[in-house]
């Protein structure tokens, strides 16, 4: 996730959004398919970043760096450079939240 995607996620979750807020939103979004696996994963990821901190605080304290990844296209390795969160725990949490709240879900 890059900085713009993370900023949009913070905006959609709301500033000062804490783990309880996210759990409530997850329950609303996945009411019929609610399961503890998603809750457990959220808890573990958030715990690695500090349970009492808001998502915005986690992102701000992580800071940003330029990272790269390689992808093979038609037999050629293509390197892509992206702005990403420095802290791998914050990055994992942001990617998880993005997967929950920005993709189409079945209700």
Average pLDDT across the chain, whole number = 86
Domain presence at residue 75: yes
Domain presence at residue 82: yes
Give me the number of domains the chain comprises.
1
- Residue 31 belongs to domain spanning: 3-101
- The secondary structure of residue 62, as a DSSP letter, is H
Domain presence at residue 89: yes
Cβ 21 vs Cβ 57: under 8 Å: no
| DSSP result, 6-45 | HHHHHHHH-TT--HHHHHHHHHHHTTTT--HHHHHHHHHH
Domain presence at residue 36: yes
Domain presence at residue 74: yes
Handedness of CA 48, 99, 63, 25 (dihedral sign): negative
Domain presence at residue 106: no
Cβ 77 vs Cβ 71: under 8 Å: yes
Q: How far apart are CA 63 and CA 93, in angstroms?
A: 14
Domain presence at residue 107: no
3-class secondary-structure state, position 89: helix
Q: Which of 26-30, 44-48, 97-101 has the highest mean pLDDT?
A: 44-48
Residue 107 has pLDDT above 50, yes or no: no
More confident site: 102 or 35 = 102
**What pLDDT score does 106 carry?**
42
Q: Over the stretch 32-73, which tens digit does the pLDDT of each residue have?
A: 666 677 888 999 999 999 999 999 999 999 999 998 777 888
Domain presence at residue 26: yes
Contacts of 75 (CB under 8 A, 6+ apart): none
């Amino acid at each position: 996730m890059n900085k713009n995607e993370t900023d949009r996620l913070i905006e959609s979750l709301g500033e000062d959004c804490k783990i309880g807020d996210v759990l409530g939103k997850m329950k609303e979004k996945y009411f019929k398919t609610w399961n503890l696996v998603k809750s457990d994963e959220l808890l573990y990821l958030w715990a690695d970043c500090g349970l009492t901190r808001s998502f915005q605080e986690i992102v701000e304290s992580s800071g940003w760096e330029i990272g790269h990844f390689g992808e093979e296209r038609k037999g050629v390795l293509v390197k892509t450079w992206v702005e990403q969160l420095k802290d791998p725990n914050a990055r994992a949490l942001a990617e998880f939240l993005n997967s929950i709240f920005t993709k189409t879900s079945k209700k």
